[in-house]
Structure 1
Amino acid sequence: MSAEKDRESNRLTGRIGRYARVGTNVGGIAAKMAGARLFGLELDNEKHAIELASALGGLKGPLMKVAQLLSTIPDVLPPEYTAELAKLQADAPPMGWAFVKRRMRAELGADWQSRFAEFDKAPSAAASLGQVHRATSHEGADLACKLQYPDMASAVEADLRQLQVLFSIHRRMQPAIDTREIAMEIGERVREELDYRREAANMAAYRTIFEQNDRIRVPDVKSDLSTGRLLTMGWLEGEPLLSFREHSLEERNRIAETMFHAWWHPFSHFGLIHGDPHLGNYTVFSDESQPAGINLLDYGCIRIFPANFVAGVVDLYLGLLEDDEARIVSAYERWGFKGLTKDLIEVLNVWARFIYGPLLSDRVRSIADGISPAEYGRKEAFRVHKALKELGPVTVPREFVFMDRAAIGLGGVFLHLRAELNFYQLFNEQIEHFSVEKVGQRQKELLRGAGLK
């Protein structure tokens, strides 16, 4: 690591400044929560949730990404807070050209511009951790250059530290879920997103998985133009997924079926999921020579699961399908649930039957009837939260954070497309001849080949 990069990643003043800004906003809310708890006062959660969302919305950066994630997990924060956080959009203002030049110089050296035939000054997309610039190689290839914002390592650590304040206060307010495992999972995954070399390796793994599938495209990485905080890859042309909402049912179904395969095949065969279901991470390509396909664009949030966890997902499905209580209990134990009781199992099954519901009936259907994408899963999450509250705090295994988040996000995509598919048939095609030993061996070979282990 160069001295300049080392100074940026550990800049004390950047971290102190971030703590001050985040601490003032989040700390004020936390203090009110703590005071209400201490003196037995009623806290106006709705009012303070709006204040918190406003504070976080003004900060942008990694805290925005974490806040959006929190909004998808029941009872990590009070429901009024999650409702407000769900409205936040990761629309961080882009870096100006002067900043971009400094960042590119830090990553590729003073002559960085000579390494491209063209490099757009204005970003084509800006998000919470970085922005993308379109460029052209000297060979004429279209490129996407994903450049991380300055001082993100310090910003992430500051934001995660302050979120611990909210977590710790909420744990004292008789929550249904103990958030400690969840907090550790969020921290690990967000830190991983800062490492663009890891993202390049994730991309290599997905290219291997789908190398024989002409309906799913994965960008190729330009290693000589990439670093730990600059990822240069081939540009994939495509249209926003939502632009196909008014196309024919046949075309919408084909896109949804491809999305189903792009998500469930890596999980059921290799133990990997694409953990960020944001609609902006997919585009659709189509031409007269072949049916519409999917571009998978972002690989910062790829979750790798132990083969035994994947086996638990399959066992729970088969247990629900065959009404096999012993298999259901065994699945929860594989996932890492402790202290299982009959009441707790019944509550967990409420959520399981919701997630697995479309996969259990052998017929063509929508993923859910009469539900908007924004409301998908919320009613069931509320029921589970209410029931768990009676049982005391339950420690949810950390793997659930991104598994549930991705499953809900995928369901939202199907609702946006108004797809009608036989989800039972599609899922059973993926788990046919399932073997935990085969998943473990495939995963080991895949990760080794991609440079992930």
Structure 2
Amino acid sequence: MSDKTPDVEKNRLGQRMKRYAQVGSGVGGLAAKVAGQRVFGMTPDNDKTARELKQALGGLKGPIMKVAQMLATVPDAVPAEFAIELSELQSAAPPMGWPFVKRRMRAELGAGWEARFENFEREAAAAASLGQVHRAVSLEGRPLAAKLQYPDMQSAVEADLNQLGIVFSIHRRLDQTVDTREIYAEIRARLVEELDYAREAAHMRLYADIFKSEPRIAVPEVIDDLSTKRLLTMNWLDGQPILKFREHKLAERNAIAEVMFIAWWNPFNRFGVIHGDPHLGNYTVRKDLGINLLDYGCIRIFPPAFVEGVVELYRALEADDRERTAEAYRRWGFANLSNELVDVLNVWARFIYAPMLDNRVRSIADGVSPSEYGRKEAFGVHQALKKLGPVTPPREFVFMDRAAIGLGGVFLHLGAELNFHRLFNEAIEGFDVAKLGKRQAAALKKAGVPAPA
């Protein structure tokens, strides 16, 4: 993998200032308005403020859109009213036109780049927040997907992350229940990582090795000589969007859901890594009901002790042992744990773990409508935390929770009915934190994955 991109792709002050002006005018004014309401003893209208925030962000594309949608899926990162509005933002950016694409490809692969493909489609097959994907064919006739990053994304990400601090300041003025500093640090680290396609290629190699003996899960193969830090070329995997299977027979939907469970939890329990982006576009379903696991920009690597804490919390809840749950939270990184705080955290933990604790075939929501899934528990936890003072979730908690909720959303869309208890216990059978640490270190080294930020 090479990096021929010239200096114009670096983090440029001029581009950052332009982006500050775009994002900051709406968001900054909104922050000032909320601050003024607090100063004069007024109670901000969360619903109205959330609508205004969506309007301020709605005309923008790029990283800020990805951040906004990310916040909508992280519990308590922003008020519930904000999450509802932010979740409606469109993450897709308008694709670059062909003249633009040609310049970008020349910057990545050099003059004569087209001769390195049998065919390269001019129209993008998909466009997202940070880049777009083109279908292509190799000189050997192999179908390819070329993921090309938009220009000046490093500058845009830096500017948008700084503006994210303003969004969090709005949240702190509205509600001080959850200290969001670690949430912000985690989102910053993961989004910066997503800009590095060389890192994403290493993540692909890691997952290909993890699932080399699992025929139901396909991972794209990186084409190294056609990839750079801002161009990622891989083989094309044919499949259908998962939502197209919602009306299929229950047995087929269950088969897809079971593979999805394995794709998320087995890497976590055996290697301490998790696919941190639960977006429905990040996987497709094959004719044999296996899945193609796509987009490896947001892979979270966890310390083995954190994974041990997740397994230990499950065992503690299973035994209904409060002190044991408290120790699990300490391993996660929660501090200043009182009995009252442990009880509150257990409300949310029992909701997340409920399907795995229940040894029977069931739906993920078990009779609760998708629109109400988790709302009662989240509201109760939030109200209780208000009385106990601010709590600071550890960084690792952010994408762990996000992945769990995202996967639950997949099961809800499919209407799957599985024995989640059996699947989870199979995943953690024989868990040994020392062995996990050695296995993780060997796998990361083999795939060439850099140390996480």
Normalising TM by the smaller chain, what interval?
over 0.9
TM-score by length of 1: 0.97
CA–CA separation in structure 2 for the residues paired with 1:402 and 1:86: 17
CA–CA separation in structure 2 for the residues paired with 1:260 and 1:128: 26
Residue 32 of structure 1 aligns with which residue?
33
CA–CA separation in structure 1 for the residues paired with 2:291 and 2:70: 24
Match of 2:312 among 312, 315, 321: 315
CA–CA separation in structure 2 for the residues paired with 1:44 and 1:161: 25
Deviation at 1:452, TM superposition (A): 1.2
CA–CA separation in structure 1 for the residues paired with 2:114 and 2:357: 55
CA–CA separation in structure 1 for the residues paired with 2:267 and 2:389: 35
Residue 126 of structure 2 aligns with which residue?
125
Q: How does 1:383-402 map to 2 (within 5 A)?
A: 383-402=380-399
Give, as a single letter, the amino acid of the residue that structure 2 aligns with 1:215.
Answer: R
Give, as a single letter, the amino acid of the residue that structure 2 aligns with 1:294.
Answer: I
Residue 373 to residue 142, structure 1, CA distance change in 2 (3 Å): farther
2:291 pairs with 1:294: yes
Residue 304 to residue 111, structure 1, CA distance change in 2 (3 Å): same
Residue 4 to residue 132, structure 1, CA distance change in 2 (3 Å): closer
Q: Where does the alignment leave 5 or more consecutive residues of structure 1 unmatched? A: none
Deviation at 1:329, TM superposition (A): 1.2
CA–CA separation in structure 1 for the residues paired with 2:202 and 2:357: 35
Residue 432 of structure 2 aligns with which residue?
435
For residue 178 of structure 1, give the secondary structure of its aligned residue in structure 2.
coil
Deviation at 1:48, TM superposition (A): 2.3
For residue 417 of structure 2, give the secondary structure of its aligned residue in structure 1.
coil
CA–CA separation in structure 1 for the residues paired with 2:285 and 2:61: 28
Question: Contact 2:4–2:107 (CA<8 Å) still a contact in 1?
Answer: no
Residue 338 of structure 1 aligns with which residue?
335
Residue 48 of structure 2 aligns with which residue?
47
2:247 pairs with 1:250: no
Residue 152 of structure 1 aligns with which residue?
153
2:405 pairs with 1:408: yes
Q: Where does the alignment leave 5 or more consecutive residues of structure 2 unmatched? A: none
Give, as a single letter, the amino acid of the residue that structure 2 aligns with 1:378.
Answer: R
For residue 323 of structure 2, give the secondary structure of its aligned residue in structure 1.
helix
Q: How does 1:334-373 map to 2 (within 5 A)?
A: 334-373=331-370
Residue 108 of structure 1 aligns with which residue?
109
* Comparing 48-57 and 414-423, the one that deviates more: 48-57
Residue 272 of structure 1 aligns with which residue?
273
Match of 2:449 among 443, 446, 452: 452
Deviation at 1:330, TM superposition (A): 1.1
Give, as a single letter, the amino acid of the residue that structure 1 aligns with 2:19.
Answer: R
CA–CA separation in structure 2 for the residues paired with 1:8 and 1:27: 27
Deviation at 1:390, TM superposition (A): 1.0
Question: Contact 1:174–1:393 (CA<8 Å) still a contact in 2?
Answer: no
Deviations 1:301-359 (A, max 9, x none): 00000000000000000001111222211100100111000110010001000000000
Residue 87 of structure 2 aligns with which residue?
86
CA–CA separation in structure 1 for the residues paired with 2:52 and 2:103: 35
Deviations 1:241-298 (A, max 9, x none): 1111111111111100000001110000000001101111010012xxxx41010011
Cα RMSD over matched residues? 1.4
For residue 208 of structure 1, give the secondary structure of its aligned residue in structure 2.
helix
TM-score by length of 2: 0.97
Deviation at 1:73, TM superposition (A): 2.4
Deviation at 1:28, TM superposition (A): 1.1
CA–CA separation in structure 2 for the residues paired with 1:372 and 1:219: 35
Question: Contact 1:123–1:133 (CA<8 Å) still a contact in 2?
Answer: yes
Deviation at 1:173, TM superposition (A): 4.1
Question: Contact 2:239–2:284 (CA<8 Å) still a contact in 1?
Answer: yes
2:328 pairs with 1:327: no
CA–CA separation in structure 2 for the residues paired with 1:80 and 1:49: 6
Residue 168 of structure 1 aligns with which residue?
169
Deviation at 1:75, TM superposition (A): 2.9
Identity across matched positions, percent: 66
